[in-house]
Copies of this chain bind each other. A is one copy, B any other.
Amino acid sequence: MNTTYMNQTVQMAIDNVKKNGGPFGAIVVDHNGKIIGKGANVVTKTNDPTAHAEIQAIRQACQAKESFQLSDCVLYTSCEPCPMCFGAIYWAKLQKVYYAADQTMAAAGGFDDAYIYEEMQKPSHERQLPFQEIPLEGRNRPFEEWKKHPDKTEY
Residues in A lying within 8 Å of B, measured CB to CB: 1, 3, 6-7, 10, 13-14, 16-18, 20, 22-25, 43-44, 47-50, 55, 58-59, 62-63, 65-70, 78-102, 105-106, 108-111, 115-117, 119-120, 129-136, 138-143, 145-147, 149, 151-155
- Distance (whole angstroms) from the CB of A52 to the closest CB of chain B: 8
Chief secondary structure at chain A's binding surface = mixed
A24 to nearest B CB, angstroms?
7
Closest Cβ of chain B: how far from A124's Cβ, in Å?
A: 9
Q: Which of B79, B110, B134, B142 contacts A154 (CB 8 A)?
A: B110
Tell me which residues across on chain B come within 8 A of A66, comparing CB atoms.
47
A151 to B18, CA, bound (A): 11
Whether A140 touches B105, Cβ cut-off 8 Å, given contacts A23-B146, A83-B83, A90-B116, is yes
